[in-house]
Amino acid sequence: MLVELFITLVKILFIFAVTVGFFAPVLTWVERKQSALMQDRIGANRADIMGFTVLGLFHIIADALKMFTKEDFIPDGANKVLHTISPIIALVPALLTFAVVPFGGQYTLFDTEVNLVISDLDVGLLFVFAIASLATYGYVIAGWSSNNNWSLLGSMRTASQMISYEVTMGLTIIGVLMVYESMKLTEIGAIQENFWMWGIFLQPLGFIMFLTASIAENKRIPFDAPEAESELVAGYFTEYSGLKFGMFFMAEFIEMVTIGAIMTILFLGAWHIPFLTTATLLSWFDFLGTTGSNLVVMLIHVGVFFAKVCFFIYLQMIIRWTLPRFRYDQIMKLGWKILLPLSLANILVTGLVILALN
């Protein structure tokens, strides 16, 4: 009991360290460097400590200092309570998803089974979906409580966009469920030990639609109509400053990691290396003993998992700096007239193929 509690705590700390401590700050820097690279600029390189710039990495510290020391401003006529809690409501779902995300398989360390997932829920995949649908409130309330028309317009767009793309997301998930016959993310990950069972081969259309829908849910370009700075100043977070703005910012970056993690588990073989089963890997490191070989394999798997997550983050960055912003009506048209029928057709075809194979 005590050992289980300790293991769970370590896993929670690890997830926090990786997302809040590593990915969120480093991605702000990566995004700047990536945009500079793609626009033939040099990018963030000015912040220095005693003359050292280290590729502009000190900008992370500078940004953090700036956010902490900025005046925390609440506009006149705004709903103070809601204005203050809405960044929290936006940030929490982004982190909460990781409760069911497995970042490795099962390993035997010191005679105890270690399952690298914080909570192995029977309804894991639906949990992810439920949390994603709750994230809407943070943005909607933020815009409404600011007492600003730009903000209100931004949050209206957020609400309609997120509802529209949730439909596609939910229907795509059904395709994945039908193929793997499980809602447990750990089981879905375990099945993909076989390279030809990877979701990207079994659900190619689902892969593309899920990626599109999740980028739209995260409101990044080309789906950033809710914050469109050339139309709405900054959309739902126009009236936010300092650390509260920082939380919206962080939520976006952490959500990128979340999307990467979910995509990796559903479509890209989770923590597995192609054509290499866990048993083979274990036998390679047999000379280290049970605990030793399990430990090495665990580290390899976690490394592989996060490498795949990084690939998806990179993909999202490339998309963000390649495409222009879609117009609002184009976003709605894509969601309801193209993605929705396609996802329904995907379910039908998946069902027919499963029926034919049986």
Enumerate binding residues for another protein (CB under 8 A). 82, 121-123, 126-127, 129-130, 133-134, 136-137, 140-141, 144, 152, 155-156, 159-160, 162-163, 166, 170, 183
Residues 6+ apart with CB under 8 A from 326: 222, 223, 225, 334
Q: How near is the Cβ of 71 to another protein at its closest, in Å?
A: 26
The two structure tokens encoding residue 32 = 């700047």
**Cα–Cα distance measured from residue 235 to residue 156, given in angstroms and rounded to the nearest whole number:** 10
Q: How near is the Cβ of 8 to another protein at its closest, in Å?
A: 17
Q: How near is the Cβ of 279 to another protein at its closest, in Å?
A: 28
Which residue, chain included where needed, has tokens 């994603």?
132
Q: How near is the Cβ of 156 to another protein at its closest, in Å?
A: 6
Nearer to another protein, 55 or 163 (CB): 163
Q: How near is the Cβ of 239 to another protein at its closest, in Å?
A: 15
Burial 190-227 (b: 16+ CB within 10 A, else e): bbbbeeeebbeebbeebbebbbbbbbbbbbbbbbbbbb
Nearer to another protein, 181 or 286 (CB): 181
**Cα–Cα distance measured from residue 116 to residue 98, given in angstroms and rounded to the nearest whole number:** 11
Nearer to another protein, 43 or 75 (CB): 75
Q: How near is the Cβ of 213 to another protein at its closest, in Å?
A: 15
Q: How near is the Cβ of 257 to another protein at its closest, in Å?
A: 21
**Cα–Cα distance measured from residue 182 to residue 194, given in angstroms and rounded to the nearest whole number:** 16
Q: How near is the Cβ of 149 to another protein at its closest, in Å?
A: 10
Nearer to another protein, 4 or 122 (CB): 122
**Cα–Cα distance measured from residue 293 to residue 299, given in angstroms and rounded to the nearest whole number:** 10
Write down how long the chain is.
Answer: 358
Q: How near is the Cβ of 18 to another protein at its closest, in Å?
A: 25
Nearer to another protein, 134 or 299 (CB): 134
CA-atom Rg of the chain in angstroms: 22
DSSP H or E run through 211 = helix 204-217
Nearer to another protein, 156 or 319 (CB): 156
Looking at this protein, which amino acid is placed at residue 49? I
The secondary structure of 146-193 as a DSSP string is TT-HHHHHHHHHHHHHHHHHHHHHHHHHHHHHHHH----HHHHHHHTT
Tell me the CB-side half-sphere exposure of residue 272, using CA atoms within 13 A.
Answer: 27
Q: Answer whether 282's CB lies under 8 Å from 275's CB.
A: no
Q: How far is CA 306 from the centre of its chain?
A: 12
